[in-house]
Amino acid sequence: MNTEPTIQLPGQWSTFAPDVDWVYYFIYWLSVVLFVAITGAAIYFVMKYRRQPGVKAEPSGHNTILEVTWTVTPLILLVVLFHWGFKGYVQLTNPPSDAMDIRVRAQKWSWDFEYPNGGHTVNQLHVPVNRPVRLVMSSSDVIHSMFIPAFRVKRDAVPGYYSTLWFEATHVGQTDFFCTEYCGAAETGAEVNNGRGHFNWAGHFSMIGSVTVHRGAEWPEFLDGILRAPSINGVEATPAQWGEILYRERQCFTCHSVNGSPMTGPTWQHMFGHNVDLQDGSSAMADENYLRRSILQPNAQVVRGFQPVMPTYAGQLNDRQIDALIAYMRTLQ
């Protein structure tokens, strides 16, 4: 297996990659040979049978051997290709029964991954090496599509339907995944930095992320880590520091600024401890209970002047993470 990229294909990082590449190169070289042979024959015949004085054009009649050959040869090639393709398709769609499940939720414009212990990551998929993993995917709005080139796998995430995708990574390291279904874009109203540049648009192009393949021994440590406060220079982060990390990791920044400018959602600056005007004409005090409810049931109390477009984080953020986010909001006075 070649884990380095070639001119045509990315490195081979999963058990599928060698087979997929074999079929790919077979079709590629078959096309090259047929292109040269057919174009060559066409040029040769154009020269050989060009109009010549004194020679009358006449059909040459049947040539049974020739006709059988050009019918049977492609037939055999196509049957072989179908056989390989179908075998590969069956493998790709049937995960082994001991595969580890990761729940994938796609939405405009991010990916949420939920691991067996209930921990989450956003736009960063983590998997262990040499172990079959099954992604159980859904979408909460439009059709998205998960494509991991180095694993040679791709499948749509469809609203109202679970689709699955499985692979077994064979190489430790970090690679990219993409959304390969154009899923729209919108102006965010303010400049945001998503770590790959400054934008005042969010959209399909923001649905790019990384896949980290961990050594088997590091995997339990990774699972543990997503439930705990991260450490900064070896010291466990304070709740407010953790909240700031979650603000970025969980993509709150795509709709909420911390500098006073309204975006798709209200700014978090001067929010904690102030009165908030609500859509229904009433107002509420932005205390811990109000903020917690805004995160878990965003449509229960909608802030005046904003659309009810915030997704719920119920089941995605645990209590300690919500506490950390509130602690961070509290510092933004």
In the chain, what are the helix, strand and coil shares in percent, each to the nearest 5? 35, 25, 40
**What part of residues 296-325 is at the interface with ligand HEC (CB under 6 A)?**
298-299, 302-303, 306-310, 313, 325
Tell me: cis bond preceding 109? Omega within 30 of 0 counts.
yes
173: left (phi over 0), alpha (psi -120 to 50) or beta: left
Residue 144 binds which entry of Cu ion, ligand HEC, none, with Cβ cut-offs from 5 to 8 Å by kind?
A: Cu ion
Residue 179 binds which entry of Cu ion, ligand HEC, none, with Cβ cut-offs from 5 to 8 Å by kind?
A: Cu ion
Contacts of 260 by beta carbon, 8 Å cutoff, 6+ apart = 267, 269, 270
CB atoms within 10 A of CB 38: 10
Report the residue from 102, 122, 127, 179 that binds Cu ion according to the rule CB under 5 A.
179
Asked if residue 105 lies in contact with residue 111, where contact means CB atoms within 8 angstroms, the answer is: yes
Q: Is 213 in the site for ligand HEC (CB under 6 A)?
A: no
Q: By C-beta, is 132 or 203 nearer to ligand HEC?
A: 203
* Spatial separation of the C-alpha atoms in residues 93 and 178, rounded to whole Å: 20
Report the residue from 153, 213, 295, 327 that binds ligand HEC according to the rule CB under 6 A.
295
Which residue carries 């600024």 as its tokens? 257
Least distance to Cu ion, CB of residue 109, Å:
6
Q: By C-beta, is 226 or 255 nearer to ligand HEC?
A: 255
Q: Is 105 in the site for Cu ion (CB under 5 A)?
A: no
Among 178, 143, 179, 325, CA closest to 252: 325
The amino acid that residue 5 corresponds to is P
Q: What stretch of H or E contains 176?
A: strand 173-179
Tell me: cis bond preceding 242? Omega within 30 of 0 counts.
no
Q: By C-beta, is 84 or 290 nearer to ligand HEC?
A: 290
Q: Is 183 in the site for Cu ion (CB under 5 A)?
A: yes
Least distance to ligand HEC, CB of residue 142, Å:
14
Contacts of 297 by beta carbon, 8 Å cutoff, 6+ apart = 312, 314
Least distance to ligand HEC, CB of residue 307, Å:
6
Q: By C-beta, is 125 or 291 nearer to ligand HEC?
A: 291
Q: How many residues bind ligand HEC (CB under 6 A)?
A: 26
Residue 294 binds which entry of ligand HEC, Cu ion, none, with Cβ cut-offs from 5 to 8 Å by kind?
A: ligand HEC
Q: By C-beta, is 104 or 183 nearer to Cu ion?
A: 183
**What part of residues 246-285 is at the interface with ligand HEC (CB under 6 A)?**
250-252, 254-256, 264-266, 271, 276
* Spatial separation of the C-alpha atoms in residues 133 and 139, rounded to whole Å: 19
Sites of contact with ligand HEC (CB under 6 A): 250-252, 254-256, 264-266, 271, 276, 286, 291, 294-295, 298-299, 302-303, 306-310, 313, 325
Sites of contact with Cu ion (CB under 5 A): 144, 179, 183, 207
